[in-house]
Amino acid sequence: MKLPSVPSYSQGAQDKALLSLTIGQAFDQTCMRYPDGEALIVRHQQQRLTWQQLAHAVDLHAKAFMALGMQAGDRLGVWAPNCLEWFICQFASAHIGVILVNINPAYRLSELEYVLKQSACQWLVCAQAFKTSDYHAMVQTLVPELAQRPLHSERFGDLRAVISLGAQPPAGFIPWAQLAVLGAGVSAAHLHARQAAVQPQHPVNIQYTSGTTGFPKGATLSHSNILNNGYMVGESLGLTAQDRLVIPVPLYHCFGMVMGNLGCVTHGTTMIYPSDAFDPGLTLQAVAQERATALYGVPTMFIAMLDHPQRADFDLSSLRTGIMAGATCPIEVMRRVISDMHMGEVQIAYGMTETSPVSIQTGPADGLELRVTTVGRTQPHLENKLIDAQGEVVARGEIGELCTRGYSVMLGYWNNPQATDQAIDSEGWLHTGDLAHMDENGYVCIVGRNKDMIIRGGENIYPRELEEFFFTHPAVADVQIVGIPDAKYGEQVVAWIKFHPGHTANELELQTWCKSRIAHFKTPRHFKFVEAFPMTVTGKIQKFKMREISIQELGEG
């Protein structure tokens, strides 16, 4: 007699209550609880603030924003790399009901224009420059009327002012230093009245999804969405006021501002920004010199730190935990992070911007095998299920599309109801587009994106599986698998390979190595050897770009 199959559905624990607070309330509570504790260290700006000092800075700038005329529901764009001012903008805007719009520091003119228009930004805070981008010149190109008072921009009818983080910005920009004077003119009672009107369900953040084709969509997130997600991530890590977390991931992304900033704020944990953008040496130095107990990063960051020529010179023994997320986490990299970087309690987290971001995470009690072969189990107060093409829940062990429901699901895409309806169904399930299978204990293994699956001669090939396989080769530091069209088989496999320093291999050697280890149809037809992969500023691999390049260089028509 055949036993009924168990459906691929799981519900997270309910034992920890969700926070029914706004971000401003949660921040203020922590600042009052640990006034003299070290709150934020920004190494590249030589800034070290206690919670009390940070609270003063946030309140002062929240009052300055009010003095400028910012109203509840206004959009404030922040276009800058990691810095103290980014943190202040995040929390000052949340205090007064203003919606923060995260703008990718790598954006150029057309991308900046799109985001400012799509979000109807009334206010913009920008750095002076970053890497090869002159932000002042780019803003002046888009807004030639900037020096007008009041501002009337032909392109951006909603834009009212641009605040510069530069020391001496050109005419038309409001200097950041001037905000302290403006803030001093607003009473604490006025600020508290504004803060009291803000509710947990109100929108607080718009983040534009990256790495896909087409125009980015603005995932709109509430106080409740991201505050609770940061809190639950921190709970899983066991963060306390004694922990010190190094945050080399971008603040403009959920990894930095939610899992990083909000995860720390809800636990009184010290936040450490090692540099304005990721640098492996500076990150290792920050861990060693600040005696950090936790470290965040995407796999490419951890690979760069592990392969850094001076890594052995840095004492990383203070590390206890951290998170590797944002992209597929290779098994061999995870093993080295645990053994070489002392991160014995490191966890994997899975999610997406639209789910605030984390919906699945490994736990502190999970053994190494579970941490390197799955992304964990459903987060507290959330549900996950795997469905087939007809929308039916598949049995445990079968592959299906992952769907998530619960407090973390975004309010919707900003000013895009059609895209919202395509992503979130009538029962509140967000369809991720990721393929996964779930074991008998509810652990989930991501096998790839719906659109990334390769079908060669009728055989389904999951890039994640092949990538994990290639990580076991001693010369391979990183690998990405894509498919390209093929007249005979439908698709062929292309492996993009990055070698460890001092190692190499050729196409024939790798194909021979594959021969006795994997099925012949999985062996890549083509190899491309590279120093780096196309990726977003957050470290997400852009497989669609890799596919386009592969078709141009290797396609057979």
pLDDT digits (tens, 9 = 90+) for 16-30: 999 999 999 999 999
Contacts of 21 (CB under 8 A, 6+ apart): 29, 200, 223, 227
Which pair of structure tokens corresponds to residue 504? 């190499």
Provide the pLDDT for residue 454. 86
Instruction: Grade residue 538 by pLDDT with cuts at 50, 70 and 90.
Output: low
For residue 198, the model assigns a pLDDT of 98
Q: 10 Å Cβ neighbour count for 199?
A: 12
Phi-psi region of 238 (alpha: psi -120 to 50; beta: other; left: phi over 0): left
Q: According to the model, what pLDDT value does residue 464 have?
A: 81
| Whether the predicted pLDDT of 293 surpasses 90 | yes
Q: How far apart are CA 62 and CA 216, in angstroms?
A: 29
Structure tokens at 453: 């699956």
> Which are the contacts of 129, defined by CB distance < 8 A and separation ≥ 6?
135, 136, 166
Residue 212 has pLDDT above 50, yes or no: no
Angle at 405 (CA atoms; ends 401, 406), nearest 5 degrees:
160
Query: Do 192 and 209 meet the contact criterion of CB atoms below 8 Å apart?
Result: no
CA torsion through residues 231, 235, 237, 240, sign? positive
Mean pLDDT value of segment 529-546: 84
Please report, for the chain, how many H helices and E strands are present, in that order: 18, 29
Strand-strand pairing, 358-361 and 347-351: antiparallel
Question: In the β-sheet with 270-273, what is the strand arrangement from edge to edge?
Answer: 47-50, 38-42, 270-273, 244-246, 294-297, 321-324, 347-351, 358-361, 377-378
- Give the per-residue SS3 of 401-433: EEEEEECCCCCEECCCHHHHHHHECCCCCEEEE
Q: Tell me the pLDDT band of 510, cut-offs 50, 70 and 90.
A: very high
d(CA 389, CA 518): 28
Going from the C-alpha of 168 to that of each of 78, 172, 176, 182, 465, the distances in angstroms are 19, 11, 10, 18, 52
Reported as type and span, the H/E element at residue 360 is: strand 358-361
pLDDT reported for residue 330:
74
- Predicted TM-score of the model (pTM): 0.87
Sorting pLDDT into bands at 50, 70 and 90, what band is 457?
Answer: confident
Mean pLDDT (whole number) for 253-261: 97
The predicted model gives 451-478 an average pLDDT of: 85
Model confidence at 429, in pLDDT bands (50, 70, 90)?
Answer: very high
Looking at the DSSP bridge assignments, the partners of residue 351 are: 358
Write phi, then psi, for 138 (nearest 5 degrees).
Answer: -65, -40
Residues 6 or more apart from 351 whose CB is under 8 A from it? 254, 325, 357, 358, 359, 360, 408
Q: What is the mean pLDDT of residues 516-539?
A: 86
Share of the chain above pLDDT 90, in %: 81
Least Cα distance to 65 among 176, 149, 206 occurs for 176
Query: Please, what is the average pLDDT of the chain?
Result: 93
| Structure tokens given for 122 | 């009334």
pLDDT at 444: 96
pLDDT band at 327 (very low <50, low <70, confident <90, very high): low
Mean pLDDT within 430-452: 90
Average pLDDT for residues 517-524, to the nearest whole number? Answer: 86
How wide is the angle at C-alpha 375 spanned by C-alphas 370 and 380, nearest 5°? 105
Sketch out the chain's domains with CATH numbers. Answer: 23-36+48-208 (3.40.50.980), 225-446 (3.40.50.12780), 455-554 (3.30.300.30)
Task: Give pLDDT, residue 449.
Answer: 77
pLDDT of 556 > 70? The answer is: no
Tell me the two tokens of residue 537: 């500023």
